[in-house]
């Protein structure tokens, strides 16, 4: 798939075009497309969260290394989440839902997070992040709806239940991820990159400046 | 053709917006050294006598590029200077960077901004508006709770350096008034928070059509006087896009400051933000015959005189 074709596909997913979503899900390279989306979205998310590394006053080389480590840890975080969903699916013996299917369906739905580097935009960034998360939930739901290709009632109900399950698993798995990977991150990077860049306390900035002066 | 150019223009706007916090973040991380030799202070031209009763610093709007004061803004500064005896009135500081340089000097992209400045001087155009946009993005950085505390610390350090150069006696409680026009008002408010802490000074902020956020400075300034005109779209826009300024955000710093009478909003009249019929227009006249510029200057002088009187009372 060419770069132009890839971005056309992403455009179709973002606009919730069921034909595009189905085409990716049934294409021989569909899983590869989903994995590329997950990888690029993770890199984009790491870029969007990069201010936390600057705030911790890292030198350039260490910052690049930290971003690399953060990308790996974020992918592990995603894997834990999708692994949780796959395990749950296996537990309830949901027919054809294999781990590869989970990656395919969730990966396609993860497309809005390709834009998550925009979270660095001042003032509106945090709002954009919420918007992207909401958009991701909608695309994941759409992806599940297309994958299930069930009756009209199921098209509405099954994806909604599945999305709810994914969200519940995400909340649970993410706590474990933050706990485990946060410790690793502090060890390797010196900063817990599993946390989002949050508001800086001006008194902390003042204290750091005074200490350095 | 026009469609492509507009696409490129909007992509340029987005690019400037996305990279806007990184200048501040790099400065904070220590990646850039402040070795430009005091360029931001070179044109502090309005210095008065030393050991003054109070200090007034004017911070320009988003059209600024360096230490040159815009002729319209200079007329206001001149009126303030004439109306304030025993006061040091400072102008010519470039507040839209934390670095010790300006857009047109001592940076790799200086040639680009100089070219845009020439373009703007010859003929106002959409391209030349990139200067305003670049500076406006720094105002957004100052407003952002993630980057603002860092940016505003950098701006405060520049202000302290200028005040120190002008003989400001730190720790004596000599009042400081920061006047910010348009985007400069947010930088003034943001840096005021640190000025109060670092110099133990009573700091008053006067916003002229300011684009202001819910800044921590609202908690410790003596007063924030927000002057605005009925037709000042920019100042009105800020009231719409900053949720903390909505009436329903009762616990926001903005609304708490209003409740504590620390934030006073004054409508100057049917003025717009800039240019003819703007706050600094010396030709347009209000109902009482005064020019818009005089109305603006008089409002500021009244505030500053009151501040001075307040200080003598408590002494």
B216-243: pLDDT as tens digits: 999 999 999 999 999 988 888 888 889 9
Query: Residue ranges per domain, chain B?
Result: 2-314
pLDDT at B45 over 50: no
Beta carbons of A55 and B197 less than 8 Å apart? no
User: In the sheet where B87-90 sits, what is the strand order?
Assistant: B87-90, B54-59, B176-181, B203-208, B223-231, B263-272
Report which of residues B5 and B276 the model is more confident about.
B276
Which two tokens mark B204?
């008053």
Other C-beta atoms closer than 10 Å to the C-beta of B289 total 7
Sign of CA dihedral B284, B290, B291, B297: negative
Q: Which of A127, A147, A27, A43 is nearest to A85 (CA)?
A: A147
pLDDT value of position B253: 96
With beta carbons less than 8 A apart as the criterion, state whether A52 and A124 touch: no
pLDDT value of position B42: 41
Mean pLDDT of A36-63: 92
pLDDT value of position B315: 33
Note the pLDDT tens digit of each residue in B74-87: 999 999 999 998 89
Q: How close B105 comes to chain A (CA, Å)?
A: 25
Which of B29, B31, B147 is facing A122, going by the closest CB pair?
B147
pLDDT value of position A150: 56
pLDDT-based confidence at A86, cuts 50/70/90?
confident
* B-chain residues near A202 (CB < 8 A): 148-149, 152-153, 193-194, 216
Which site among A205, A206, A212 would you substitute to test the B interface, given the most B Cβ atoms closer than 10 Å to its Cβ?
Answer: A205
pLDDT at B163 over 60: yes
Phi, psi of B278 (to 5 degrees): -95, 180
Which stretch of A99-108, B33-42, B72-81 has the lowest confidence by average pLDDT? B33-42
* A-chain residues near B153 (CB < 8 A): 202, 205-206, 209
Report which of residues B183 and A190 the model is more confident about.
B183
**Nearest-angstrom CA–CA distance, B218 and B206:** 12
Q: Say if B51 is an interface residue toward chain A (CB within 8 Å).
A: no
DSSP B80: H
**Nearest-angstrom CA–CA distance, B67 and B181:** 15
Q: Say if A206 is an interface residue toward chain B (CB within 8 Å).
A: yes
Q: What is the ipTM of this complex?
A: 0.87
For B295, the 3-state DSSP assignment is helix
Note the pLDDT tens digit of each residue in A103-123: 998 899 999 999 999 999 999
Query: Residue ranges per domain, chain A?
Result: 3-204
Q: Which residue of B has its CA nearest to A58?
A: B29
pLDDT value of position B258: 95
pLDDT at B211 over 80: yes
pLDDT value of position A156: 54
With beta carbons less than 8 A apart as the criterion, state whether B50 and B38 touch: no
pLDDT at A192 over 50: yes
pLDDT at B103 over 60: yes
Report which of residues B124 and A121 the model is more confident about.
A121
pLDDT value of position A81: 82
- List B59's β-bridge partners, or say none: B180
Q: How close A201 comes to chain B (CA, Å)?
A: 7
pLDDT value of position A159: 61
Beta carbons of A51 and B152 less than 8 Å apart? no
For A113, the 3-state DSSP assignment is helix
* B-chain residues near A44 (CB < 8 A): none
Which CATH architecture best describes the domain B2-314? 3-Layer(aba) Sandwich (3.40)
pLDDT-based confidence at B313, cuts 50/70/90?
very low
Note the pLDDT tens digit of each residue in B166-199: 999 988 989 999 999 999 999 999 999 999 999 9
Report which of residues A175 and B49 the model is more confident about.
A175
pLDDT value of position B310: 47
Residues 6+ apart with CB under 8 A from A20: A9, A12, A13
Q: Say if B37 is an interface residue toward chain A (CB within 8 Å).
A: no
> Chain-wide mean pLDDT for chain B?
89
Q: Which H or E element spans position B117?
A: helix B110-122
Q: Say if B152 is an interface residue toward chain A (CB within 8 Å).
A: yes
pLDDT-based confidence at A1, cuts 50/70/90?
confident
pLDDT at B70 over 80: yes
Which of A197, A198, A205 is facing B153, going by the closest CB pair?
A205
Most confident stretch, A198-202, B20-24, B68-72: B20-24
Beta carbons of A122 and B21 less than 8 Å apart? yes
pLDDT value of position B50: 54
Which of B31, B146, B153 is facing A209, going by the closest CB pair?
B153
């Amino acid at each position: 798939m060419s770069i132009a074709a890839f971005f056309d596909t992403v455009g179709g997913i973002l606009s919730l075009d069921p034909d595009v979503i189905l085409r990716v899900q049934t294409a021989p390279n569909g899983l590869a497309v989903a994995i590329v989306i997950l990888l690029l979205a993770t890199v984009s998310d790491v870029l969007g969260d990069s201010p936390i590394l600057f705030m911790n006053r890292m030198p350039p080389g260490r910052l690049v290394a930290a971003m690399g480590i953060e990308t790996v840890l974020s992918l592990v975080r995603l894997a834990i989440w999708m692994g949780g969903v796959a395990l749950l699916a296996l537990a309830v013996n949901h027919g054809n839902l294999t781990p590869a299917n989970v990656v395919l369906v969730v990966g396609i739905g993860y497309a809005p997070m390709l834009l998550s580097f925009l979270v660095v935009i001042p003032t509106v960034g945090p709002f954009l992040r919420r918007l992207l998360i909401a958009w991701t939930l909608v695309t994941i739901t759409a992806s599940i709806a297309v994958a299930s290709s069930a009756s009209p009632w199921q098209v509405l109900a099954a994806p909604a239940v599945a999305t709810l399950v994914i969200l519940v698993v995400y909340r649970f798995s993410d706590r474990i991820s933050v706990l485990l990977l946060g410790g690793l991150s502090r060890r390797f990077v010196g900063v817990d990159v599993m946390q989002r860049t949050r508001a800086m306390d001006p008194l902390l900035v003042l204290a750091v400046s005074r200490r350095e002066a | 053709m026009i469609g492509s150019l507009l696409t490129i223009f909007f992509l340029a706007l987005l690019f400037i917006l996305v990279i806007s916090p990184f200048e501040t973040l790099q400065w904070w991380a220590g990646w850039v050294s402040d070795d430009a030799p005091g360029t931001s202070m070179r044109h502090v031209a309005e210095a008065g006598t030393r050991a003054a009763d109070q200090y007034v610093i004017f911070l320009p709007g988003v059209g600024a590029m360096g230490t040159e004061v815009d002729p319209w803004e200079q007329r206001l500064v001149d009126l303030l200077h004439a109306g304030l005896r025993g006061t040091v009135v400072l102008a010519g500081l470039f507040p839209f960077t934390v670095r010790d340089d300006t857009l047109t000097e001592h940076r790799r992209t200086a040639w680009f901004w100089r070219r845009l400045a020439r373009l703007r001087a010859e003929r106002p155009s959409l391209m030349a508006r990139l200067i305003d946009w670049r500076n406006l993005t720094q105002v957004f950085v100052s407003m952002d709770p993630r980057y603002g505390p860092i940016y505003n610390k950098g701006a405060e350090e520049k202000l302290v350096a200028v005040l120190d150069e002008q003989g400001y006696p730190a720790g004596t409680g000599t009042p400081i008034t920061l006047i910010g026009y348009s985007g400069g008002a947010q930088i003034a408010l943001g840096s005021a928070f640190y000025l109060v802490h670092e110099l133990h000074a009573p700091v008053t902020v006067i916003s002229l059509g300011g684009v202001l956020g819910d800044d921590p400075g609202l908690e410790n300034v003596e007063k924030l006087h927000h002057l605005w005109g009925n037709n000042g779209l920019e100042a009105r826009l800020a009231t719409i896009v900053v949720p903390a300024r909505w009436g329903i955000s009762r616990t926001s710093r903005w609304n708490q400051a209003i409740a504590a009478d620390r934030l006073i909003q004054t409508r100057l009249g049917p003025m717009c933000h800039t240019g003819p019929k703007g706050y600094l227009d010396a030709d347009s006249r209000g109902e009482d015959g005064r020019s818009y510029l005089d109305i603006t200057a008089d409002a500021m002088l009244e505030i500053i005189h009151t501040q001075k009187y307040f200080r003598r009372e408590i002494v």
